[in-house]
Structure 1
Amino acid sequence: MVLPVQNQKILEFLELVGRLKHVKRTGWIKCDIDDCESIAGHMYRMGMMTFLLTEENNPTKLDRFKCLQIALVHDLAECIVGDITPHCGVSPEEKHRREDEAMKTIAELTGIAGDRMYELYKEYENQSSPEANFAKDLDRYDMILQAFEYEKRENAPKKLEEFFTATYGKFKHPFIQGLAEELYRQRKEHINSAVNGD
């Protein structure tokens, strides 16, 4: 039986999304990190972090479900355009144009659901809501957490210092600021023990 056109488009969408499970993040490749994470792995951990928002650490009452949705769509365009970093020789304007075009293509495949994904993507890009701001914090935090994990795995303290320098002082949400402080503390201990030969 021939699938309805809509189902064919949804299948095409799911195959595109599936690429993200296999595309490695460019920043780690450029830093010679073997067996580095995929784009989907990055978005998955960001999504899991939204579950950590509670009554106690979410005084501004962020919409957790919206935060999760933004985390899952913020890099979705990369299934078409790839992971473009500042080191790829592509201007920020051109990167934005390519990603916007890719998101429109994705939206066309999924109808009303795609319209919602595109809307959330634009919210993230424009940082136009508290939830988008929080997702940006998650994006940066997951990056430095991953960097620290690679430094420990490779026994290479400070190897990925540039990622910490690029994000330092940029975290806005108190919950993520606290997590960042704990990460900095653990990293400092790791660096000191390496220097002292512990």
Structure 2
Amino acid sequence: MSTNDWNPEDHVPSEVKDLLQNAEVGPYTYISAFIQVVELLKTQKRTGWLNMGIDNAESISDHMYRMSIISMSLNTANFKDNSNLSTAQKEPIDLSQCIKISLVHDIAEALVGDITPKDTTVTKQQKYERELAAIKYLGSLIDPYNSAFAKEMVNLWLDYEEQRNFESRIVKDIDKYEFLVQAVQYEKRYKGSKRLDEFFEGTRQQIKTDEVGRLADEILHQRVEFWRFINKNVN
């Protein structure tokens, strides 16, 4: 199937399609359909962890939820010394926007799935086009019930994808940080029998904001201490 042939509606659960074909479909039916499609985020496991044989791997929604909690917990005062901020970006950080972006940045994956950079069957451009089609479709489901939210959700997704504001830059960094936290937790779960080195390679360097970088440095320090303990007790 080529990118042009990919249609988000082809990936909607049959029971939701049946719901939308009801003769009495109305605004509440549409929002119900959207909520049921979003459930797919709870049932789909993150591909990278599955490829590594992680048992009971996190779902897409698990990842998004913890990102939103991280966003909510940030101390905005700690961003004032960020050397990467321009004068225009030194306005107060809107954490509510960070939380919202965190909650929707991967929402298109409900229909597209979690496509990793290592997937050679889908190009980066194809991935973007599929996710854009999916987010627009999801917006169309919400629109009859709440058109303002439909537009906001699409715009929040575009903020993240196109990095249109500093809040989206922070969330991009949180995405990498949460990824590091999860990788360390999985290594600890396996008590040293599984190393996930490939997930750490270059990830810290992709984090641009100083504050999220400090958070990442702490979890990386904990990883060093964990492996030092493991190696000491094995040897």
Q: TM-score higher than 0.5 here? A: yes
Q: What TM-score do the two structures reach when normalised by structure 2?
A: 0.80
Please say if residues 204 and 213 of structure 2, whose CA atoms lie closer than 8 Å, have aligned partners that are also in contact.
Answer: no
- Per-residue CA shift, 1:74-112, capped at 9, x if unaligned? 000011111111122210011001100000000111122
Cα displacement (A) at 1:127 = 1.0
Opposite residue 103 of structure 2, the aligned amino acid is L
The CA deviation at 1:62 is 1.2
The number of aligned residues is: 197
1:114–1:30 CA distance, 2 compared to 1 (3 A): same
Identity over aligned residues, as a percent? 37
**Residues 12, 109 of structure 1: 8 Å contact kept:** yes
In the TM superposition, what whole-angstrom CA distance separates every residue of 1:48-75 from its partner, at most 9, and x where no partner exists?
0112123432434210000000000000
The letter of the residue matching 1:15 is Q
- Equivalent residue number for residue 66 of structure 1: 97
Residue 122 of structure 1 pairs with residue 158 of structure 2: yes
Structure 1 unaligned regions, length at least 5:
none
2:59 is the counterpart of 1:49: no
Change (3 A) 1:62 1:158: farther
Say whether the 8 Å CA contact 2:173–2:207 is kept in structure 1.
yes
Q: Say if 2:130 is the partner of 1:98.
A: yes
1:117 aligned partner, one-letter code: M
RMSD: 1.6
Deviating more after overlay: 178-187 vs 154-163? 154-163
* TM norm structure 1: 0.94
Pairing 1:34–2:18 present: no
> Which residue of the partner structure matches residue 196 of structure 1?
232
**Partner amino acid, structure 2, of 1:6:** P
State the distance in 2 between where 1:44 and 1:3 align.
34
Tell me the residue number matched to 1:151.
Answer: 187
Question: Does the 8 Å contact 2:46/2:114 carry over to 1?
Answer: yes
Equivalent residues in 2 for 1:128-167, closer than 5 Å: 128-156=164-192, 159-167=195-203
CA distance in 2, matches of 1:52, 1:58: 13
Residue identity opposite 1:63 in structure 2: D
Match of 1:10 in 2: 31
Of residues 101, 108, 118, the one that matches 2:140 is 108
Structure 1 runs (4+) greater than 4 angstroms displaced: none
Gap runs ≥5 in structure 2: 1-22, 81-89
Residues 68 and 102 of structure 2 are in contact (CA less than 8 Å); yes or no, is this contact kept in structure 1?
yes
